Amino acid sequence: MQKSLGVVVATVIVLGLSSLALAQTNKVDVSGIWVFTVQTDAGTASPTVTLKQDGEKLTGHYSSETLGEADLTGSVKGRDLKFTFTANVQGTSFEVTYTGTIEDNGLKGTLDLAGMAQGTFTAKRK
């Protein structure tokens, strides 16, 4: 009886550690500098995006020749991410939304420019 109780306890410990290791493996952190490749009907752009993740909260800075400089806010839930910022082009302000997934080799998704235009993106860490 004592021996089988020890086996059960050892099995529970091993399974618990395995679950913990798996949870750590699935944890993502997108903090860092990213180089995006954006494709829209208007053409291709390569903005640089600095992201800081704190739990599910996402903050950062967007920088591109096309849309200029802007601070961003968003979220990360599992392997899904979303962020928005306000762009100002020639005196007109509009909201830009990036929605995507965190892939093994980077980020991938779509963007919406205030409903006026859409596009796709991929991104790699710098």
Q: What is the pLDDT of residue 27?
A: 83
* Domains defined for the chain, CATH in brackets: 29-125 (2.40.128.120)
Q: Give the three-class secondary structure for 12.
A: helix
- Calculate Rg over the CA atoms of the chain: 21
Beta-carbon contacts of residue 75 (< 8 Å; ≥ 6 apart): 56, 57, 58, 81, 82, 83
- pTM for the full predicted model: 0.79
- Comparing CA positions, the residue from 47, 39, 63, 45 lying closest to residue 117 is 39
Q: What does the angle CA 84 – CA 74 – CA 114 come to, to the nearest 5 degrees?
A: 20
Q: What is the pLDDT of residue 42?
A: 87
pLDDT tens per residue, the chain (126 residues)?
Answer: 555 555 554 454 544 544 444 344 458 999 999 999 999 998 999 999 999 999 999 999 999 999 999 999 999 999 999 999 999 988 999 999 999 999 999 999 999 999 999 999 999 999
Q: What is the pLDDT of residue 6?
A: 55
Q: What is the pLDDT of residue 7?
A: 52
- Comparing CA positions, the residue from 111, 107, 112 lying closest to residue 126 is 107
Q: What is the pLDDT of residue 33?
A: 98
CA distance 90 to 49: 21
Q: What is the pLDDT of residue 5?
A: 56
Beta strands at 57-64 and 43-45: parallel, antiparallel or unpaired: unpaired
